[in-house]
Every structure is written in C-alpha cells, then in structure tokens.
Amino acid sequence: MAKRAYNFNPGPAALPLEVLQQAQEEFVDFQGIGMSIMEISHRSKQYEQVNDEAQSLVKELLGVPAGYQVLFLQGGASTQFAMIPMNFLPQGKAAGYVLTGSWADKAYTEAKGIGETYVAATGEAGGFRSIPAVSDIEARPGSAYVHLTSNETIAGSQFAAYPDTGSVPLIGDFSSDIMCRPVDVSKFSLLYAGAQKNLGPSGVTLVIVSDELLGQASKGVPTMLRYDTHSKTKSLYNTPPVYSVYIMNLVLKWIKGKGGLEGMEQFNRDKTKLIYDAIDGSGGFYQGLVDANSRSLMNITFALGSEELEKKFIQESEKEGFVGLKGHRDVGHMRASTYNAVPYESCKALADFMNEFRQRNG
C-alpha cells in the first residue's frame, strides 16, 4: 500500500484509514446492488438506511437529549452564519457574539448585516491568545441568542467550558472540534459543524437544534434556508450530498469503535500532549501562540524565532512527509491540526521531528 502522509491539514483533513479502505471496498458495488451509493436515489432504502444510521449515531455519540433535531445540511458552516440570524434574530431583538478570532468574526459580520447584534465578550485586546472567561460572557436578558465558536481553527484556541446563558439560547459553531470530546448538548439550543474536519468530507454540515428554538423561527425565510424544511423531511427535502453523508456515517461508526467521545478525548489529549510538550520543553525555541488555558485539542499553533527558521522548518518537514504545517495566511507561523482521525504515530513523528530540528538549529 502507498505510504500515507503525516497529514496535519486544517480542513479538509485526515480521514481514518479504515474508513477510506471500507469506502474503497464498497465503492463500485455497494451492498451487492451492482452500483455505487452515488448512483442510486436518495430515496432508495439503501440510502435511507445510511441517512438514518448516521442520524442515530450522532444522537448516540453526542448524547443528544429528546427535543432536539439532527439535520444534515449543505452550504458549509458559512451558510449557518447567515441561516442562524435569518431564522432566529427577529426585529426588535439583539444577538450576542463572543469574539474569539477569525471564525467568530465571520459569523458576527454576517449577522450584523441581518439584524441587531452586540459583542458578548471579546479576546481582541489580548490578540486572541485566550478565550474570554465564561463569567465575562454577557448574555443580555431578552437576547435572541448568544453565539460562540467552540474552537478557533486559525488561532488555535478552544473553549475549556461553556457559559450558562440562562434563558438566552446558546448557539455554538463546532466546525473544528465536533466530537473531539464529550459535550453537554443540553446547554445549547443549536450547534453546527461543517463535516470536513472531524466528521468526514466536505459537503455536509451537521446541525443539532432544539425544538424550542425551532418553534421561534422567523417567517418568510426562503424554503431551503429554513430549518423546519429539513427537520420535517429527515434532511431529505432535496437531494442531499449522498457520498458525504455515507462517509460521515462510516466515520461515526469509527468514532464509536474507538470508545465514543470519551475515547476520542483521551486519544486527542495523548497525542496533542506530545506536540505541546515539544513546544513547552523547547526553552523558547518554539513559542505557542495561545495561552495554556485556552489551548486547542485540534489546532496547535506555534512560532519559531524567525521567518527564515520557519521556512526551513516547513521545507525540511515536507521532505520528511509532513503535510499542512504552515499556519493560516492571516496569522502565519505554524499550525498542526490534530483532528480525531490524525493517528498518534503522526503526532509522535512530528514531536520527534520538532525536537530533532531544535537540536540542530537551536
């Protein structure tokens, strides 16, 4: 078999090898039907089973309580930035946004064009090196909702705990950390995630929304952009991204086989510790870009002493088979994305490479 890269891509990102292999096995002839899953109706019993199975696995893995709908939508998380205020930010109400970096800012900017907003907390003064303290997040009484970004993919920061917003609905963008650890879904009225980091390929966006919030949706929103269009039809109102949902279903089974979200959390802690230890034990050769209490389990950002050294690090790491370590163009430096499907061995290899590179260049 071809040698697999040490894949630290930020998204689309690594998928479990076992999933790719199973998909390969079933690619040409799905369950003996003489066709692939992409070549049959989304209303066939074969696809309906995939759709149902994926939906129940989401519920099971995340412990989704009764009174919530699990939806598979299209348009990526970016479409959620608009759909949320279109549906849940009526005139006369304001929505609070917790600003933690680029992605929170994108969600906020989109909402500003649709309705009234306010900043519920911001980490801007500290250069987004840390997530605001939960106690500093302001949920103004009577707000439409408060929105937060659970994991800032570009900055490399992640909420350690979520605020209690009382009667104000809490909405979370979990695009880059969904299912990396257990989460109390009942704290949220809506959470969403593009699949292409932790759940599968791009093309499908997971949305979990409470019936209570659904009941408050604004009228007059175009059909495809209304949540109830999809909740009433098991996400089969129109043709779904069949192959993306199929792969997501395989990834969900893989997560379950790894001990569910508790298993994932332990796995992610073990593997990220290798890299954070390489940063912290480097005597300043590597500098983390996020304060320790806000560090992400999914995106590890760090700098080296000079641009020249960073260039050398990238060049040499690429020669060793490492992929995706260049930081986002907005912040530069380095970023290792260590999503669920990134193997322990890749993280061990990266930590070893970092230590060895420091010895040669420190």
Q: How far apart are CB 312 and ligand PMP at their closest, in Å?
A: 27
Residue 289 Cβ vs ligand PMP, minimum distance, rounded to whole Å: 16
The reply on whether position 88 binds ligand PMP by CB under 6 A is no
244 counts as binding ligand PMP under rule CB under 6 A: no
Q: Does 101 bind ligand PMP (CB under 6 A)?
A: no
Q: Give the separation between CA 74 and CA 57, rounded to whole angstroms.
A: 19
- Take residue 233 and report the two structure tokens written for it: 């039809």
Residue 157 binding ligand PMP, by CB under 6 A: no
- Binding status of residue 153 toward ligand PMP by CB under 6 A: yes
Q: Does 103 bind ligand PMP (CB under 6 A)?
A: yes
Q: How far apart are CA 351 and CA 357, in angstroms?
A: 10
Of 45-53, 73-81, 117-125, 309-317: span binding ligand PMP (CB under 6 A): 73-81
Q: What is the CB neighbour count within 10 angstroms for residue 12?
A: 15
Query: Could you confirm whether 103 is annotated as catalytic?
Result: yes
CA distance 150 to 166: 18
Tell me: does residue 115 bind ligand PMP (CB under 6 A).
no
CB of 49 to ligand PMP, least distance (A): 26
Which of 173, 228 has the CB closer to ligand PMP? 173
Q: Which amino acid is at 112?
A: K
- # of chain residues touching ligand PMP (CB under 6 A): 11
Q: Which value, to the nearest 10 degrees, does the dihedral of the CA atoms of residues 33, 36, 39, 40 take?
A: 40
Task: Look up residue 129 and give its two tokens.
Answer: 């090196």
Q: Choose, from 45, 52, 173, 271, the residue flagged as catalytic.
A: 173
Is residue 273 part of the annotated active site? The answer reads no
149 binds ligand PMP (CB under 6 A): yes
CB 80 → ligand PMP: shortest distance, Å?
Answer: 8
DSSP codes of every residue in 169-219: PEEEE-TTTTTSS---GGG-SEEEEETTTTTSSTT-EEEEEEHHHHTTPPS
56 is in an annotated binding site: no
Catalytic member of 52, 93, 103, 253:
103
d(CA 328, CA 336): 11
Element (H, E) at 359: helix 344-361
Residue 196 marked ligand-binding:
yes
Q: Is 173 in the site for ligand PMP (CB under 6 A)?
A: yes
- Nearer residue to ligand PMP within complex by CB, 175 or 189: 175
Q: Are strands 205-210 and 286-288 parallel, antiparallel or unpaired?
A: unpaired
Burial class of 216 by CB neighbour count within 10 A (0 to 12, 13 to 18, 19+):
middle
Site membership for ligand PMP, residue 78 (CB under 6 A): yes
CB of 149 to ligand PMP, least distance (A): 5
Q: Does 201 bind ligand PMP (CB under 6 A)?
A: no
d(CA 242, CA 294): 36
- Which spans of this chain sit near ligand PMP (rule: CB under 6 A)? 11, 76-78, 103, 149, 153, 173, 175-176, 194
- Annotated catalytic residues are 103, 173, 197
